[in-house]
Amino acid sequence: MKCYLCALEKTNTDAVAICIVCGMGVCMNHLVREEVEVWEGGYPFPAKKLKRKLPRILCKPCYSVYHEG
Amino acid sequence: MSLTKRSLAELVGTFLLVYFGAGSAAITLMISQGANPPNPFNIGIGALGGLGDWFAIGMAFAIAITASIYALGRISGAHLNPAVTIALWATKRFPTGDVGPYIASQLIGAALASFLFAASVGMDAVKIGGLGATAPFPGVSFGQAILAEAIGTFLLMLTIMGVAVDERAPPGFAGLIIGLTVGGIITTTGNIAGASLNPARTFGPYLGDYILGGNSLWHFFPIYIVGPIAGALVAAFAYDYLSKD
């Protein structure tokens, strides 16, 4: 699979990941990888933050929309 | 989350429960002052709208509890009730070291609510409304009051176990269902012994009434310790027994 965003720029780069939101194949330059905190539990027990975080990969357009809210 | 923050959340949640819940009972008594109750079993709550008065009080509790659970449930667990904390501890779901701070916070929150309710409304809230304190109604014995409180808290704790503690429960509904359950119990059994279901909810108005010159009702306090704690314990152990293969 090729990077969709590179293809739009008329370049030909192999995709290394899939955006979890839109499903777009993206290269290293067009992805954002973050580790998201995971909380477990809730009423009637306090929620606990787990030690291990959950890795998530988004393409840059989805990442910017997500952070704009 | 630190124990201090969790305890503070319990304090705030119990404050909201007592200010709005017990406060609604005090306001009902103030509104109905001078009304002619149709029988001696009616002390004023019910003089205006019959069981509708109790429904309104129940809904005030339901809304305050639901809001507190959704607002604070992830922080402290929003027990808001020493009987719930003790039942979760007794079934090994809550650490022993946290029980004391949680209960102390619930009692302080309830007391603060009663004092600030009196400050908000004035001394009529104490003299006429009794700060919404609970006591057995005319003709209801000590033992009957304990039984009513135990059965009411049994239903509350059974619901908590079924809709919140059990991992198989559908997520997201606990706050709403538990709030409405308390509202329903109050509507039905409020005119027996006040439907406290919660030692902290009774402690706050009792302390407020005692210090601010209202009636001293401390001789009834054992009802609201023994009944709710017994009911919650039986419900928690019964649910564990019933839900295991």
- pLDDT > 90: what percent of chain B? 89
Nearest chain B residue (CA) to A45: B77
Where do the domains of chain A lie? 4-68
* B77 Cα to chain A: minimum distance (Å): 4
Within a domain: B244: no
pLDDT at position A69 over 70: no
Eight-state DSSP code of residue B168:
T
Nearest of B104, B110, B100 to residue B14 by alpha carbon: B110
Q: Does B47 touch chain A (CB under 8 A)?
A: no
Q: Does B201 touch chain A (CB under 8 A)?
A: no
Within a domain: B243: no
pLDDT digits (tens, 9 = 90+) for A26-43: 999 999 999 999 988 888
Label each residue of B88-137 as H, E or C. HHHCCCCCHHHHHHHHHHHHHHHHHHHHHHHHHHCCHHHHCCHHHCCCCC
Which sign does the torsion angle of CA B27, B31, B34, B39 carry? negative
Mutate to test the interface with B, among A38, A43, A48 (most CBs of B within 10 A): A43
pLDDT digits (tens, 9 = 90+) for B83-139: 999 999 999 999 999 999 999 999 999 999 999 999 999 999 999 999 999 999 999
Q: Where are the alpha helices (DSSP H) in chain A?
A: 4-8, 60-68
* pLDDT value at residue B138: 93
Of the partner residues B6, B84, B164, the one whose CB lies closest to the CB of residue A46: B6
Within a domain: B90: yes
Eight-state DSSP code of residue A2:
B
Q: Does B1 touch chain A (CB under 8 A)?
A: yes
Within a domain: B242: no
> Average per-residue pLDDT in chain B?
96
| Cα–Cα distance for residue pair B148/A7, rounded to 1 Å | 73
ipTM above 0.85, yes or no: no
For the entire predicted model, the pTM comes to 0.87
Question: With bands split at pLDDT 50, 70 and 90, how would you rate the model's confidence at B215?
Answer: very high
Within a domain: B83: yes
* A38 Cα to chain B: minimum distance (Å): 13
A46–B77: do the CB atoms touch at under 8 Å? yes
Query: What CATH code is carried by the domain that includes residue B116?
Result: 1.20.1080.10
Within a domain: B110: yes
* B176 exposure class (CB count in 10 Å sphere: 0-12, 13-18, 19+): middle
Range(s) of the domain holding residue B209? 3-237
Question: With bands split at pLDDT 50, 70 and 90, how would you rate the model's confidence at B3?
Answer: very high
Total domains in chain B come to: 1
